[in-house]
Amino acid sequence: MAKEASVTERSNEALLWETLAAIAPGTELRDALERILRGRTGALIVVGHDDVVDKISTGGFPINIDFSATRLRELAKMDGGIVVSSGLEKIIGAAIQFVPDSSIETRESGTRHRTAERVAKQTGFPVISVSQSMQIIAVYVGGMRHVLEGSPAILSRAGQALQTLERYKKRLDEVTGSLSALEIEDLVTVRDVAQVLQRLEMVRRISEEISSYVVELGTDGRLIDLQLQELIGALGNDRELVIRDYLESARDGYPLEQADANLASLSNDDLIDISANARAVGFPVAGDALDALVTPRGYRLLSKVPRLPGAIIDRLVDHFGSLQAMLAADFDDLLTVDGVGESRARAVREGLSRLAESSILERYV
Last residue of a domain, one of 245, 268, 295: 295
111 is in an annotated binding site: yes
Annotated binding-site residue? 115 = yes
Residues of the chain with pLDDT under 70: 1-10, 249-254, 360-365
Is 146 flagged in the annotation as binding?
no
Residue 183 burial class via C-beta count within 10 angstroms: exposed 0-12, middle 13-18, buried 19 and up: buried
One domain, residues 128 and 169: no
Q: What is the pLDDT of residue 27?
A: 94
3-state secondary structure of 104: coil
Same domain, 158 and 274: yes
Pick from 143, 146, 144, 112: nearest CA to 129: 112
Determine whether the annotation assigns residue 113 to a binding site.
yes
Q: Are residues 13 and 116 in the same domain?
A: yes
Residue 164 marked in a binding site: no
Coil, helix or strand at residue 150? coil
What per-residue confidence (pLDDT) applies to 364? Answer: 60
Q: Which residues contact 15 (CB under 8 A, 6 or more apart)?
A: 126, 141, 142
Same domain, 36 and 165: no
Q: Which residues pair with 98 in a beta bridge?
A: 57
pLDDT at 4: 41
> What single string gives the DSSP state of each residue in 168-221?
HHHHHHHHHHHHHHHHHHT--BHHHHHHHHHHHHHHHHHHHHHHHHHHHHGGGG
Of 123, 148, 173, the domain-final residue: 148
The whole-angstrom separation of Cα 297 and Cα 302 is 10
Q: Of 309, 312, 300, whose CA–CA distance to 352 is shortest? A: 300
Q: Provide the 8-state DSSP code for 315.
A: H
114 lies in the same domain as 61: yes
Instruction: With 0.85 as the threshold, say if the pTM is over it.
Output: no
Q: Do residue 182 and residue 138 come from a single domain? A: no
Q: pLDDT, tens digit, for every residue of 155-197?
A: 999 999 999 999 999 999 999 999 999 999 999 999 999 999 9
pLDDT value at position 357? 84
Residues 279 and 18: their CA atoms lie apart, in Å, by: 34
As for how many domains the chain has, the answer is 3
